Structure 1
Amino acid sequence: MGKTKKKVPKCFVAKPYTNLADQITGDQIVSNKKKEPKIRLRQDESEEVISSQLSKRILDQVREQKQEITDNDATEKNLISLGSGSDSEEDEEDKSMFGEDDKDYYEQLEINVEDEKALEMFMSKNPETRLTLGDMIMEKITEKQTEIQTQFTDAESLQLQDVDPRVVQMYKGVKQVLSTYRSGKLPKAFKLIPKLRNWEQILYITEPSTWSAAAMYQGVRIFASNLKENMAQRFYNLVLLPRIRDDIDEYKKLNFHLYQALKKSLFKPGAFMKGILIPLCESGTCTLREAIIIGSIVGKNSIPMLHSAAAILKLAEMDYNGATSIFLRILFDKKYALPYRVVDAVVFHFLGFEHDPREMPVLWHQSFLTFVQRYKTDISSEQKKALLKLLRSKSHPIITPDIRRELESSTCRDIEMSEPL
């Protein structure tokens, strides 16, 4: 005989649908197994059973994602209302750049009044008129209207074209944004300017003189990255340099954003030298404060040797002013291995003051001492004698003895070459 089958209570028989009475009866019977509550999810007409622990995790993730979406929407609305969007790359750089403990920012300057008066003696009495971007544009327009020049063949000259009124209206709106810009996203139309053929004309519509300091920094970032060196030089010379000089002249110091813009302009060192440093010294009106602030950028950042050597050569050959001594001393302190041609030009630069009746400022003697300390072995014997003779007519009670000691203890380059191996 087979085993008798136990009768299973009706409450344990699986039914497609159970009524309320059966559910109450089933709850009164205690089962030995601890059954986990199951959650049934129907996907593609097939049922999948998920445990309570996994379902709890899923629900937690859903709540977190929903909360994140809500927070992001609220943040975006606030940013849009304030006019400052979010740009991850720019924000990260701004956080590191605008921190309170930025060591790259120049210290508070204390300019000696006597030094300023001494440098004024060497400034140009009749400085050339400083041209702005607007002056250059109007000059080109006049040339076209009078048909003096029918076609511009120079690659650097502005090719004037008729601008669509809708484009003009759009960039006037960009001008309004840039005049109040503080942080966040920039208009896409502004980022397209360096790629345009008539970028100078479009840039003139935005009126760079009205940009905020933060907008100027962002503009230098964009133009330094996208323009060729000769075009970047024009932007530095016509837009950035006048803004920096005006800011220093008005506030007696340089805005932090403009200082960072000046630092960012070194991305193209050739354009920096030819668009900012050399024109500033050639103007003959560079003040001691301007030279110290811009010189701090040159001293704190790495510049290729060839660009620095070309700048030293140009500074040594131009008419002297006090700013020349500051920039020469800073470049000498970078300890480049300069070509002999550059060293010779600097020697002739100092020898040119032998018969100058004016009393040389302390900055001149300091740059002379720095040059002798760094390059005393790169001068010839004849140059050494001439420099020692120069010290008799141009002397300083404290600095000149150090210069003479450095020269007398040095070994000249022609003696080193003549020595047998």
Structure 2
Amino acid sequence: MLPLALILKGHGAQVAGSDRSRDQGRTPEKFAWLESLGFDLHPQDGSGITGAEQTLVASAAVEDTVPEVIRAKEFGCPRMSRAELLATLFNAAPFGVAIGGTSGKSTVTGMTGWIMTHAGRDPTIMNGAVMKNFASPDAPFASARVGEGEVFVSEVDESDGSIALYRPKVAVLGNVSLDHKSLEELRQLFGDFLARADISAINLDDAETAALAPHAKALVTFGIASPDAQIGATEVVEGPTSLTATVLDRRDGSSHALVLKVPGRHNLYNALAAIAAANAAGVAVAEAVAGLGSFVGLARRFDIVGTSPSGVTVIDDFGHNPDKVSATLATLKAHPGRVIAFFQPHGYGPLKQMGHELARVLATRLGPDDMTILCDPVYFGGTVDRSEGSERIVRLIEADGGKAEYVPSREDCAARIAEIAKPGDRVVVMGARDDTLTVFAKDLLARL
């Protein structure tokens, strides 16, 4: 909700709000920053709803029993979901670039937005993560940018089906894999998404994505392995914190040297997606590649917190589904050193949906010396079924031949990691839907 609030305020709207996290005392610095910008923040007790002229915007996770919802009904206030509001703003923009896919959306959005900024297009950007290129002491939570240009770059979410609300000029699809919905549902959602766009940028290396190509009106294709991809990459050299490659534009035979300040082959795919997206929006491939040279990444996307005096490196990462976790672990395992993977599941529902696939990734992507440690899933209240939790995932990992421990309390997980960590280890903190994971990662580093 934060980036949407920033965009609305940038357009002159009066914005107020409440958040259960604020009432619980979590990430107080974020809420203090919002108040410094002039946002009116209230306890989540309904006191912020004062009249029928207000519009209540609530995420899909907000239940009808929340006091704001009850008060809004009493006043007869219009209600919008987060996705409905974002789609309204996006569809009103002259030129919308929508970033879709199961994994990598936030990074591709940040990369595409940075390319557009570098190219002088002055875009508005809506992201699910803090974009380091736009962060500053005055804007430490820069998950949105309000521009004066015609371009609106936004990630769009398939997990709740709201991707169906968007009418992009350019649609980007990087991958399709199991997460919140079945593959059958995802194929329908993403196929319709491509069909609504004037032009689509798709990854030919991903079989599910490539199979949806016939839905698109026009295409810019990308990939590393596929010889049919219009925009490709060769001469890939991966470093622990960076990557270089040569980008090929097979349409005109040109080649361009790419230097990324973010590591991992998955980020090369993200970069190719952003280059293709920008090119579909009228930016030359050479200019897009040049812009990415100064892209410095997103918070919580393989975000290196630091290395302790004892030589243990801590990495903060958003990995929370099988594809994202696999990409993060592959990046780590491309270089020497033991990996301790801490994983906090982002909910009981998602864990039940993708538990087998997640456990297989954690068991097979890590080596015999590596270790996975899981705490209980995120739970901030509500009526979700909590009968199957992290202990089940540990059993599945062990059944697949991996090493894992279930430690219910996150604080106890930190103590366990501090107990077993050795010089040269890499500790990766993974999970989503919990802003305090970054604080946990920093506190963990201080203990090592």
Per the TM superposition, whether the score is higher than 0.5 is no
* Structure in which a larger fraction of residues adopt helix: 1
Structure exhibiting the larger radius of gyration computed from Cα positions: 1
- Which one has the bigger strand percentage? 2
Report the TM-score range of the alignment, normalised by the length of the smaller protein.
Answer: under 0.3
